[in-house]
Amino acid sequence: MFFKIKHEIRYTYSEEVFIEPITLRLRPRSDCFQKLHHFEIRSDPLPKGQSEAIDLDGNSVTCIWSGGLNRYITINANSLVETLNQNPFNFILTEDSSYEIPISYSPELDKALGAYLEREYTAVDIDHFANEVIKNSGANTINFLTNLNQHIFENFEKIERPQGNPQKPIETLTLKKGSCRDLTVLFMDACRFVGLATRFTSGYFYNEEIESSKVQLHAWAEVYLPGGGWRGYDPTHGLATADRHIAVASAGSPKMASPTFGMYRGTGVSSNLEFEVSLEAFSSLEDIPLQK
């Protein structure tokens, strides 16, 4: 499938401010699961400087900086992505110790995956929650992931929270509701409890029932499986991620995968964030209308 994505982010300020350098993670991945055919990013006002980089987790990062005072900044990212992962279960586990949970990675993997195994929040209730899933699905690793994903999808209310940090996993578990990032963080913490390395992924999800102009940035988890590599699980929709998910950035913590990061300097100034995302799907490149 081919996806044409337009993502606009606009910050406005009550008074003129000096905007510090802004880090942008808006360029979709280009790898074995998806191919980036086109990407461009623009900002208004025009930046004084702009640079590209690869961050610690391998995400493509754009940094922009400006001079002088401004009352607003608008960032537009346009992408054309082809998704390739039609079968999310097309892999085999290559280490015997990963067949059942709690799993044990090889010493080399265990060292490399340290940041994705560390639990930022710990709570007995989360441990009990994960053990209940094990009790109902057995210790098979793939069954556990599938059932955990499905359990959160079926038993938690989905809400929209356009802004703000993810809830702590215990909050989501207690409230039995959360946004996509809240449900993802709960999924991640339960996985880390049983020894599965996970990372937070931001991107887009295509749902034909949602108008192309009413899409929002989405979040899901990726789990590292020996032989399978990073494999995505979306507890908001109860799906293993495939060709309807377009990944942009991944990291051990949500903050390190955020689409924008920056600060401004001003006294007694308030700020406002607005965004707009459109996502159009096409079956081939020939179906995509030319830009006028």
Average pLDDT over residues 165-193: 96
The proportion of the chain whose per-residue pLDDT surpasses 70, expressed as a percent, equals: 98
Are 225 and 110 contained in the same domain?
yes
Q: What is the pLDDT of residues 69-119, one digit of tens each?
A: 999 999 999 999 999 999 999 999 999 999 999 999 999 999 999 999 999
Please report where in the chains the tokens 């989405």 appear, as a residue. Answer: 218
Can you give the CATH number for the domain in which 271 is found?
2.60.40.2250
Are 159 and 245 contained in the same domain?
yes
Report residue 167 as tokens. 């809830």
pLDDT band of 162, cuts 50, 70, 90: confident
pLDDT, residue 287, reads: 85
pLDDT band of 163, cuts 50, 70, 90: confident
Residues spanned by the domain of 38: 2-84+259-283
pLDDT, residue 292, reads: 46
Are 139 and 251 contained in the same domain?
yes
Residue 127: in which H helix or E strand, if any?
Answer: helix 124-137
Are 264 and 251 contained in the same domain?
no
Q: What is the pLDDT of residues 30-84, one digit of tens each?
A: 999 999 999 999 999 999 999 999 999 999 999 999 888 999 999 999 999 999 9
Residue 291's contacts (CB-CB under 8 Å, 6 or more residues apart) are none
**Is pLDDT at 157 greater than 80 in this prediction?**
yes
Q: What is the pLDDT of residues 198-221, one digit of tens each?
A: 999 999 999 988 776 678 899 999
| Helical ranges in 156-283 per DSSP H | 169-175, 180-193
**Is pLDDT at 238 greater than 80 in this prediction?**
yes
Q: Is residue 91 part of a domain?
A: no
Are 236 and 161 contained in the same domain?
yes
pLDDT, residue 136, reads: 87
Are 230 and 265 contained in the same domain?
no
List residues bridging with 201 in a β-sheet. Answer: 220, 250
Residue 65's contacts (CB-CB under 8 Å, 6 or more residues apart) are 19, 20, 21, 22, 47, 48, 49, 50
Are 111 and 169 contained in the same domain?
yes
Are 75 and 146 contained in the same domain?
no
**Is pLDDT at 247 greater than 90 in this prediction?**
yes
CB 144 within 8 Å of CB 152: no
Distances (CA, A) of 101 to 116, 170, 194, 195: 16, 22, 6, 7
How many folded domains does the chain comprise?
Answer: 2
Q: Is residue 180 part of a domain?
A: yes
Are 16 and 106 contained in the same domain?
no
Q: Is residue 90 part of a domain?
A: no
pLDDT band of 10, cuts 50, 70, 90: very high
Residue 130's contacts (CB-CB under 8 Å, 6 or more residues apart) are 148, 190, 191, 193, 194
**Is pLDDT at 291 greater than 70 in this prediction?**
no
Mapped onto helix, strand or coil, the DSSP state of residue 91 is: coil
Are 66 and 27 contained in the same domain?
yes
Are 7 and 104 contained in the same domain?
no
The rounded distance, in Å, linking the Cα atoms of 129 and 123 is 10
The proportion of the chain whose per-residue pLDDT surpasses 90, expressed as a percent, equals: 86
Can you give the CATH number for the domain in which 158 is found?
3.10.620.30
CB 184 within 8 Å of CB 219: yes
Q: Is residue 290 part of a domain?
A: no
Are 111 and 241 contained in the same domain?
yes
